Amino acid sequence: MHSFGQRANAIITFSLTIVAVICSLASFSDNFNTPSPTAEIEVSNFNWFQKQRNGNDEVSLTLNISADLQSLFTWNTKQVFVFLAAEYETPQNALNQISLWDAIIPSKEHAKFWIHTSNKYRFIDQGSNLRGKEYNLTLHWHVMPKTGKMFADKIVKTGYRLPEEYR
Ligand SMILES: *[C@@H]1O[C@H](CO)[C@@H](O)[C@H](O)[C@H]1NC(C)=O
Ligand SMILES: *[C@@H]1O[C@H](CO)[C@@H](O)[C@H](O)[C@H]1NC(C)=O
């Protein structure tokens, strides 16, 4: 005869094993989901472009972002963090990455969106490198699962250029 304690213990161990199996199946099945997110990013206006008194360049721009990230969502997805970064090279750094905008997408219904906004975070270069500068706009995302590993990816949009003159 097993004591009540022993049986309870066996049941708990068994349930925990099942939970562990389900969790690993959940994150494993995520590996079979090949997401195909899309994004269009347009700079619809340069609001102003200045050299600050301390010599750093700052630009304010208006962005038109439309994206469909619905395919990132599976039943195991808790939420998705997205941020849009301006990326460019300077003589000092091979990669300068400046976050311009970000958002947390709580569900698949919100993952197809369109937003027309000026940059939420300041676009400042530590120097005066921005005139006529070519840059990329990269939409980065981090998928936070309910269980398993977080994963990240991005869409790079190339061929943007800042104005030649301050304005
Ligand atoms: C923003 O982009 C969408 C689609 O990419 C386009 O239909 C819309 O006209 C654009 N809006 C502005 C204000 O540029
Ligand atoms: C923009 O992205 C392309 C493709 O990933 C890369 O080859 C290029 O170096 C990037 N340009 C800048 C200015 O970072």
Q: What is the reported pLDDT for 20?
A: 75
CA of 14 to the centre of ligand 1 (A): 55
| Residue nearest ligand 2's atom 14 by CA | 88
d(CA 71, CA 81): 14
Question: Looking at residue 17, what is its pLDDT?
Answer: 73
Task: Note the pLDDT of residue 162.
Answer: 98
Q: What b/e string do you get for 34-66 counting C-beta neighbours within 10 Å, with b at 16 or more?
A: eeebebebebeeeeebeeeeeeebebebebebe
Give the domain 33-161 fold: Immunoglobulin-like (2.60.40)
Q: How confident is the model at residue 7, as a pLDDT?
A: 73
Q: Is 29 helix (H, G, I), strand (E, B) or coil?
A: helix
Unique residue bearing structure tokens 């309910």: 146
Check if 25 has its Cβ closer than 6 Å to any atom of ligand 2.
no
Distance between CA atoms of residues 30 and 69, nearest Å: 15
**Where do the structural domains in the chain lie, given as residue ranges?**
1-30, 33-161
* Bridge partners of residue 137, in order along the sequence: 86, 157
Euclidean distance between CA atoms 114 and 106, whole angstroms: 15
Please give the Cα distance from 50 to 59 (Å, whole number).
Answer: 6
Q: Return the best residue to mutate from 90, 156, 157, 161 for the ligand 2 pocket (most ligand atoms within 8 A of CB).
A: 156
Q: What is the mean pLDDT of each run of 10 residues along the chain (167 residues)?
A: 70 71 66 85 97 96 98 96 98 96 98 98 96 98 96 97 96
Which ligand is located closest to the Cα atom of residue 115? 1
What pLDDT, on a 0 to 100 scale, did the predictor assign at position 28?
64
Ligand number, closest to the Cα atom of 39: 1
Q: Of the bound ligands, which one is closest to the alpha carbon of residue 40? A: 1
* H or E stretch at 144: strand 134-145
| Closest atom of ligand 2 relative to the 134 alpha carbon | 13
- What pLDDT does 134 receive? 98
Report which protein residue has its CA nearest ligand 2's atom 7: 158
Q: Report the run of H or E that residue 154 belongs to, with start and end.
A: strand 151-161
CA atoms within 13 A of residue 106's CA, in its CB half-sphere: 0
How far is Cα 128 from Cα 23, in angstroms, rounded to an integer? 50
Res 27: pLDDT: 66
pLDDT score recorded for residue 29: 63
